[in-house]
């Protein structure tokens, strides 16, 4: 197999994994109750203000909030699956 085919296969696998992670994040977000969502928001805002200035310059706050919310929702959903 040449490198172009391998690259296409890797990209398609990565896209599938990203779709699965987004679905898992949706499940985690929907499974959280109101207080857990509020705690998540507070944690993300606290982490944003603790981040060094050079890192803040590379990412927008909205993008950071989206990314962290997705990551923490995935972790929450994985905990639910283990139970």
| Tens digit of each residue's pLDDT (9 = 90 or more) over 21-77 | 999 999 999 999 999 999 999 999 999 999 999 988 999 999 999 999 999 999 999
Number of neighbours of residue 23 by Cβ within 10 angstroms: 12
Would you state the pLDDT for residue 81? 83
65: Cβ–Cβ under 8 A, 6 or more apart, which residues? 44, 48
User: How far, in Å, CA of 53 to CA of 10, rounded?
Assistant: 35
The structure's pTM equals: 0.78
**Segments forming the whole domain that contains residue 20:** 3-82
User: How far, in Å, CA of 23 to CA of 63, rounded?
Assistant: 19
Would you state the pLDDT for residue 17? 93
Would you state the pLDDT for residue 60? 92
The total domain count for the chain is: 1
Would you state the pLDDT for residue 13? 95
User: How far, in Å, CA of 10 to CA of 1, rounded?
Assistant: 13
Would you state the pLDDT for residue 68? 92
Number of neighbours of residue 73 by Cβ within 10 angstroms: 23
């Amino acid at each position: 197999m040449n490198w172009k085919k391998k690259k296409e296969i890797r990209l398609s696998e990565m896209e599938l994994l990203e779709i699965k992670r987004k679905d898992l994040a949706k499940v985690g977000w929907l499974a959280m109750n109101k207080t857990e969502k509020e705690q998540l928001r507070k944690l993300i805002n606290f982490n944003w203000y603790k981040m060094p200035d050079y890192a803040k310059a590379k990412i927008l706050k909205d993008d950071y909030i989206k990314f962290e919310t997705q990551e923490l929702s995935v972790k929450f959903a994985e905990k639910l699956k283990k139970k």
